Amino acid sequence: MTSKAQLLNTLDSLVNQRVTVPTNPYGGQCVALIDNVLQYQGLFNLDFSYLNAIDGLSRAESLGLKVTRFNGANNPPVGSVWVTNCLPYHQFGHIGFVVAENPDGTVTTVEQNIDRNGDALYNGGWTRKVTRNLDSAGNFSYIDWNAPTQQMVGWFELPFDGAGDDLETEGMNKGDYFIDVSAYQSADLTGICQASGTRNTIIKVSEGVGWLSPVMAQQTNTSNCIGYYHFARFGGDVGTAQAEANYFVSNLPSRPKYLVCDYEDGASGDKQANTNAVLAFMDVCKSNGFEPIYYSYKPYTLANVYVDQITARYPNSLWIAAYPNYDVTPHPVWEIYPNMSHTKWWQFTSTGIAGGLDKNVVIVGDSFKKKKEEEDIMNFVVRSESGAEGWVAVVNGRVFGIGSMSTVDTLEGVGAKRLQLDDGDFKRFLESQSNDIKGVEQAIREANVAVIKQIEDRAQATQGQTGK
């Protein structure tokens, strides 16, 4: 089945094109865009061929889709297809997609044949991305496009992946790791991901309005890309910030959950102007259907922007960097955590592996919905504070002793959480995870204490290795 992200990505690829279908002789009509996407793009296999836009809801009902009529208070959700009445101008109606909900209450739409060209009824127009406002009277008016206001009739929703099964797949849990990479790293991230213990990545796409990463597509294809970042050059200029954001958005290799404004250089002397520019950049990301994130260092942030204004509009949107040193640091040193409200992610090192690699940990996780029939099982690799018993794994409620540090690394790489517990709590924790008391005792006996020496040897081998 098709995800909402796949639909939005397809729509982005069609903007500023004249979209047609073989069943409609009148060229790039608004309904041709709908039919092309729903029937001919390989997404839904839904027949919306050769009808007037005003009949779109009836067709959707006949196909078993969820249809909602406008009641003065409801709004079409992202990914839905809306229908409007265009009287008194003509009786055919109009139709398009909602692709984003904006902070100011407006929505971003993708729709076709709104250029008001003289041959619109015969040759149609082009696909455009525009901003609209829907008021309680049903007036669906354009904010940034010269076209008449229409009356909202209603909308229908599409059968996306996960519809009705209470499942949401995008995002990360608290404690998850991810790395961020740029053109400094190789195009194929397979080896780097293996070395770092995570496939989650945020990838640099652009800088200013004149630089694009030559490896961003390959990096996307060889990792689990959860977001992209842009290195900001706009200082305190709102217009330049918007231009950079549009440049960023228009050059994305795919459509992940997050877009990041990397603001760590070139701030102006006007703190409020800097803040306004950052928010303008993030607003463009939001208007295009992404979750915006602000990245920087704590001292730079406090000196150059009013961070409370950013988090007031975008709660839990901070990605803050703070490192203990430049030694290889595969796990966070919590003593130097940059304690800032609304921190979502912490970049805890620039040397996650030898040779340099930014590594991050999730502080505020995303909200996940699980299938009702599935249990939410957490796996662990555990050792006592003294290390006397070595490492023990807890996997799907069963415990076993670990004989090699590589096994610890492998389990962490697939999501197991590392714990170091007080000696007195170590056994009690394991017993709380399993009803097999004898099995717990055996796992402790089998745990190889030599693994501790492997950790110490590894630390010594990487001591002093820096660089990026």
Q: Are 272 and 306 in contact (CB under 8 A)?
A: yes
Candidates 244, 262, 283, 412; catalytic one? 262
Spatial distance between the Cα atoms of 129 and 166, rounded to a whole number of angstroms = 30
Whether 111 is a known active-site residue: answer no
CA nearest 263: which of 325, 195, 215, 310?
310
Spatial distance between the Cα atoms of 416 and 136, rounded to a whole number of angstroms = 49
Candidates 264, 431, 436, 446; catalytic one? 264
Spatial distance between the Cα atoms of 96 and 98, rounded to a whole number of angstroms = 7
Alpha carbon distances (Å) from 171 to 14, 42, 220, 380: 26, 26, 16, 20
CA nearest 261: which of 302, 226, 292, 225?
292
Whether 264 is a known active-site residue: answer yes
Candidates 35, 111, 180, 244; catalytic one? 180
Whether 262 is a known active-site residue: answer yes
Q: Buried (b) or exposed (e) across 403-433, using 16+ Cβ within 10 A?
A: eebebbbebbbeebbeeebeeeebbebbeeb
Provide long-range contacts, Cβ within 8 A and 24+ apart, for 145-150: 145/114, 146/116, 147/114, 147/116, 148/86, 148/89, 150/84, 150/85, 150/86, 150/94
Q: Are 377 and 397 in contact (CB under 8 A)?
A: yes
Query: Catalytic residue numbers?
Result: 180, 262, 264
